[in-house]
Amino acid sequence: MTSTDSPRPFVRSHRQRMLAGVCGGIAEYFGIDANLVRVAAVIGAFVSLGTVALIYLAAWMLMPAD
């Protein structure tokens, strides 16, 4: 790694946005399909009794937009 390489930013996506771009940003960061992240978020919200939904809201507020 050279000194000019910088880590990729962890930001909300503008292109893969459905609600706030959080799932799209996660998908772009890890290089996976945004729909898989969205489905995992919805299933996780039901299984965790809303904890994942609260994490999503926190990410919406904390993650900068691209």
Would the pLDDT of 1 be above 80? no
pLDDT bin (cut points 50, 70, 90) of residue 2 is low
Structure token digits, residue 3: 């000194």
Question: Tell me: the pLDDT tens digits for 7-59?
Answer: 888 888 888 888 899 999 999 999 999 999 999 999 999 999 999 999 999 99
Q: How many structural domains comprise the chain? A: 1
Residue of 57, 59, 48 lying closest to 26 (CA atoms): 59
Q: Alpha-carbon distance 52 to 8, whole Å?
A: 24
* Residue 27 CB partners (closer than 8 Å, separation 6+): 13, 16, 33, 34, 36, 37
Q: Alpha-carbon distance 66 to 56, whole Å?
A: 17
Residue 9: the pLDDT is 83
Task: Report the predicted TM-score, pTM, of the whole model to 2 decimal places.
Answer: 0.80
Q: Confirm whether 16 is domain-assigned.
A: no
**Paired strand residues for 17:** none
Domain that holds residue 37: 22-62
Q: Confirm whether 4 is domain-assigned.
A: no
Q: Confirm whether 30 is domain-assigned.
A: yes
